[in-house]
Structure 1
């Protein structure tokens, strides 16, 4: 479902102090796509794009969801590091 939601991260900085970052995230469902769910298995899942903003920057996520479960996700926490691909195996 499209909409907005808050996302809050609690991180330790380089001096072991707690840093709290909050974002407002826009959730946008897209079309269904084929995604890998195992070594040689594929299925169709709904693509959901999530873009989060705060005054310090932005985060982006792409999730593939089927029956309320995230099957695969691409997450970019820091543009300097590039995206992280996550495949959830059954």
Structure 2
């Protein structure tokens, strides 16, 4: 099993290195789903902060929330399949 959290990794497409959280992956679909879900989450937070309870904010929150659940489900499902496949080796 490869370590994608180090400073150098072969075929790594996503590397997140925060102070207490490190993550890396070589799967492009999983990486894209993670990045898109983080962007959707940031947009949801922005709507909550700057929306002021308007009708447009409620509708945007509904659409963004549904999209976030779908995309994060893809990211989690893809990560679960990756982990399950590596344990059988």
Shorter chain as denominator, the TM-score bin is under 0.3
Q: Which entry has the higher C-alpha Rg, 1 or 2?
A: 2
What is the TM-score when the length of structure 2 is the normalising length? 0.22
Greater RCO (Cα-Cα under 8 Å, separation 6 or more): 2
Going by fraction, where is helix more abundant, 1 or 2? Answer: 2
What is the TM-score when the length of structure 1 is the normalising length? 0.21
Going by fraction, where is strand more abundant, 1 or 2? Answer: 1
